[in-house]
Amino acid sequence: MAAIEILAFESSGGRLRSHLLPLEGPGSSCSLRLRSLPGASGVHLVLTNGGGVLLRAEVDSEGDEWVEVTLEWETESRWTLSSPGRRILYLPPESDYEPIPPLRPAYKSKQLDVALVVDGTTQANGLGAAQTSSPLLLADRETWGRQADLLIETITGLAREMKADLRAVVLAFGDRPVPATSAPDLRPVYHLYPARPEDRVLRGGDPGQLRSRLLSLPATSGGDFVDSLADALAACRELRWRAAARKLVVLVGDSPGYSILQPAPWGADAQVRECDVDVEAAALHRQGVELLALYHAPAVESATAGFLRPFVDHARAQYLRMATRPDLFFEAAGFEPAAAVATLMSRVPVVGRGASPGILAVPRRARRARG
């Protein structure tokens, strides 16, 4: 009888390999204990017999959480999983359903490439400045100057800790015009800035030049609530990242992008979109790009807080989801570059996105069903 194996990481996130399961044939079962990877939203289970995939499934979890799963070998070709209180999604065995490859941050690299992606729209998420006390982030030059200094301190501090050569690019996202509108405050100045792809280039990380580039970003209306964040992430995929560099996107703002799986509240988006934030974040993950999110919570007026709360909560949750792992999500209020650098330097061997293979504890001994 062929050996039954599960694909999982060794302890502490080491090598991904097949592990032999203590199963004795149909009618037997075993209990598995797996830890989901930091940044993952579930554990991806793949059962094989050396010749092909017998079972593929996903078990919901939080990142870095232990998950208990019972595997039942019912008949020669039938398997079932159970995990109390957790949703289990059974998938076809084909390779099209393989999980996103885990990311291993390049901590030892002597090269650091950073894309600073800035929300060029209102801090009010396109809901109107009259409903919040938040001005345009980029239009308030004094406040934006302080924020720019914090961003520069963060990435130059990381380069210093890594002893790495720093290259950086500064991008901003606005939105596309809302169809059939003529009001000036609903007509964005730009979709992406710089507009031409050939002007989005990773250059030397001189602090003075970086500050100049950040302060020269123009402000724009967002048009509606959902803005072009997904398009900005797609633009980051096209950057000429150095192959051996540690790669990092720093997302700054509060405007969300379009998401099919977790859409914005009803009425928040007035146009057709080409890009999806979760698809683009996953594509960056495949390229080995980490993502740090710095969320600027808008100051909502008490008279409209009830109406705006679902929109603000949606945007914050999306920025948290965009971060490569939860500890790379920061609130702008009280943001400290030294803490961000320390977090980026804390060595997490392997990071997941979506459902990823788990880290396997020693499987418990199989048992035979009675009868």
Neighbours of 36 (CB within 10 A): 25
Here the tokens at position 252 are 């700054």
Establish whether domains 5-103+352-368 and 111-345 are of one fold: no
Q: Tell me, which fold does domain 111-345 have in CATH?
A: Rossmann fold (3.40.50)
- Which pLDDT tens digit goes with each residue over 239-274? 999 999 999 999 999 999 999 999 999 878 878 889
Q: Is the pTM of this model over 0.85?
A: yes
pLDDT, position 267: 79
pLDDT, position 358: 95
Q: What is the DSSP letter of 12?
A: G
Tokens 């999982």 — which residue?
Answer: 8
5-103+352-368 to CATH, choices 2.40.50, 2.60.40, 1.10.3470, 2.60.120 = 2.60.120
Hey, where are the domains in the chain? 5-103+352-368, 111-345
pLDDT, position 123: 47
Determine the residue type at 27: G
Determine the residue type at 183: A
pLDDT, position 339: 97
Residue 344 CB contacts under 8 Å (≥ 6 apart), including other chains: 158, 248, 290, 292, 328
Tokens 């209020």 — which residue?
Answer: 333
Residue 66 — φ and ψ, nearest 5°?
-80, 135
Residues of the chain falling short of pLDDT 50: 123-126, 128-134, 303, 370-371
| Contact by Cβ (8 Å): 34, 57 | no
Neighbours of 33 (CB within 10 A): 15
Q: How many helices (H) and strands (E) does the chain have?
A: 6, 18
pLDDT, position 305: 62
Determine the residue type at 320: L
End-to-end CA distance of the chain: 21
CA separation for the pair 305, 299 (Å, rounded): 9
